[in-house]
Amino acid sequence: MTQHTSTEATAVADAEKKAQLNVNKLTKWLRHAVGDAINDFNMIEPGDKIMVCLSGGKDSYTMLDILLGLQKSAPIDFSIVAVNLDQKQPGFPEHVLPDYLKSAGVDYRIIEEDTYSIVKKLVPEGKTTCSLCSRLRRGILYRVADELGATKIALGHHREDILETLFLNMFYGGKLKAMPPKLVSDDGKHVVIRPLAYCREKDIVRYSEAKGFPIIPCNLCGSQPNLQRAVVGEMIEDWDKRFPGRIESMFRALQNVVPSHLADPKLYNFVGAKADGVARADGDKAFDRETFSEPNTINILASKPADAGGCGDH
Ligand code: SF4
């Protein structure tokens, strides 16, 4: 009996050790991916004050946690302030984020603005509320960034969010447009960054579970989930399972755009194209069909993690 108990205890200890090793590996991977995105896009500069938008979803918790970890080892000084906008949705657990942030020793602000009532009042029953809701939220966050003297606004969108946006724009918007890792805000006054741009959603899910973040449900507003986004999300997830490497390849495509092989005369001077006798590798190959090898998943995963934020992290 004693022998049996001690064998079980050893098995449990081994399993815990293995789990811890996996979390360490995942942490390293995510930090690496975030570090690469920060470097590639010059997201954080010395003296920056980063306003990390925290919704209480897995993505924003992960972003905050990874940024706090990087802050300790970064060769430059920057500060972080976590901001949550309490939109007064029914059942919003007000204590969860302050408790978590206090225990993590993070500088934070909770902003209370009853946008929920405004949206309910202005949007007719049955119509989608997200567009007004997110417009109001954006305005408030810009104002708060000004008040806090934040130089960057960090959002928790990840690789799949970016690809979803790309497909949504193609399917429904007639635009080749995704979600940039860094861009000046529409009012021209802020710089918005997405440090999780290279992170895979499935890694964020695993990290969030391993860390036990106190997740706040994202359906408190009662709005219907965005069906178009959900369908595109499922399509990407399905591809990821059936065709390993495809998602990585698609994301790399966003970083490897060839305007001369698209069809936008605003991006490339097709109108003025003239034969000048100079051979060019990227010229038109007329009748040649392009051939493609299957993505080499192993190489892709081992290389720079170009593969390495729904409502929750809007
Ligand atoms: S789902 Fe998000 S964006 Fe849409 S109404 Fe609810 S809180 Fe607002």
| DSSP per position, 147-187 | HHT-SEEE----HHHHHHHHHHIIIII-------SEEE-TT
Whether residue 130 is annotated as binding a ligand: the answer is yes
Q: Is the pLDDT of residue 225 over 90?
A: no
3-state helix, strand, coil in the chain (%, to 5): 50, 10, 40
Residue nearest to atom 6 of ligand 1 (CA): 221
**What pLDDT score was predicted for residue 71?**
97
CA–CA gap between residue 177 and residue 129 (Å, rounded): 23
How far apart are the CA of 18 and the centre of ligand 1, in A? 39
Q: Within 10 A of 139 (CB to CB), how many other CB atoms are there?
A: 13
CATH fold label, 2-256+306-313 = Rossmann fold (3.40.50)
pLDDT in tens, 138-154: 999 999 999 999 999 99
pTM score, whole prediction = 0.88
Sole residue written with tokens 């949206």? 119
Whether residue 53 is annotated as binding a ligand: the answer is no
**What pLDDT score was predicted for residue 1?**
52
C-alpha count within 13 angstroms, C-beta hemisphere, residue 312: 19
CB contact at 8 A, 159 and 251: yes
Q: Is the pLDDT of residue 301 over 90?
A: no
CA–CA gap between residue 234 and residue 223 (Å, rounded): 20
- Residue ranges of domains in the chain: 2-256+306-313
How far apart are the CA of 300 and the centre of ligand 1, in A? 35
Residue nearest to atom 1 of ligand 1 (CA): 311
Identify residue 81 by its one-letter amino acid code. Answer: V
First to last CA, the chain: 54
Whether residue 218 is annotated as binding a ligand: the answer is no
Answer with the residue of higher pLDDT: 182 or 298: 182
Residues at CB less than 6 angstroms from ligand 1? 129-130, 133-134, 221, 223, 311, 314
**What pLDDT score was predicted for residue 3?**
62
CA–CA gap between residue 219 and residue 227 (Å, rounded): 14
